[in-house]
A and B are shown apart, each in its own frame.
Chain A
């Protein structure tokens, strides 16, 4: 019962704020979109906590709403775009077609998604372990089964840092 109430509150909030990123009611300044996206990420973290993914909820707030969105806001404020530098957002037929096509694909996939409850495997188990989704459970998996991809992630982040410094330093 409470789970359903929280599900509707959190998912409704996440969808409304995500829509405000794409179609902002407050104008074309990307700062408003970034702020709406931060709120959307917090709602998503709530949904993760509802799904017992505690570590992922914390990481969502710390990495997404914290690090990534601070980076976005930093760049937006650094650019300090004026109204004429934002460029024109023309409403062309191709864009309308792209939007309608995405909604159509979404409706089609929704049919598949709504059939997933009838699958026998879907309602098999509740998580038996007490450590499901905690730092202990996920960390144990990360450092045993997924040790090599985990180490590769550090190399990926190192490459991203070097690439960002090189790209931002020189003039293109």
Chain B
């Protein structure tokens, strides 16, 4: 049995998730908001892998694989959106992205 209890990994993941959520709530640069979402996804991956280790079940690894794939798709589409908005409005501030049609 590993010498580090499972709850320590969960609390590390929790701290990372809270850091990411604070970034989403407080930062206004769209790029930093996207990066904070990546931190939150990573925290969730850590929970899946920690439980996989402590229960001896590799399903968590497969779920993490899918989360990584979804994160890659999200980053590609999100950054394309940021590029499109910046080309139009010369700003990446999410407070100014408040119109459905401009």
A: residues with CB less than 8 A from B are: 1, 3-4, 7, 11, 14-15, 18-19, 21-22, 28, 30, 33-34, 37, 40-41, 44, 47-48, 50-53, 55-56, 59-60, 63-64, 67-68, 71-72, 75-76, 78-79, 81, 85-90, 95, 98-99, 102-103, 105-106, 109-110, 113-117, 121-128, 132-133, 137-138, 141-142, 145-146, 149, 153, 156-157, 159-161, 163-165, 167-168, 170-172
The binding surface of chain B is classed by DSSP as helix
Question: Which of A19, A76, A116, A164 lies in contact with B10, CB distance below 8 A?
Answer: A116
Contact A47 B88 (CB under 8 A): no
Task: Report the minimum CB–CB distance from A104 to chain B (whole Å).
Answer: 10
Residues 16 to 68 of chain B near chain A (Cβ within 8 Å): 16-23, 25-29, 31-32, 34-36, 38-39, 42, 45-46, 49-50, 52-56, 58-59, 61-62, 64-66, 68
Taking the closest CB of chain A, its distance from the CB of B61, in whole angstroms, is 5
Q: Which residues of A contact B83 (CB under 8 A)?
A: 75, 78-79, 167-168
Query: Quick one: given A18-B19, A56-B61, A64-B38, are A163 and B29 in contact (CB under 8 Å)?
Result: no
Complex CA–CA separation, A137 to B85 (angstroms):
43
Which of the residues A34, A89, A156 comes within 8 Å of B27, measured between beta carbons? A89
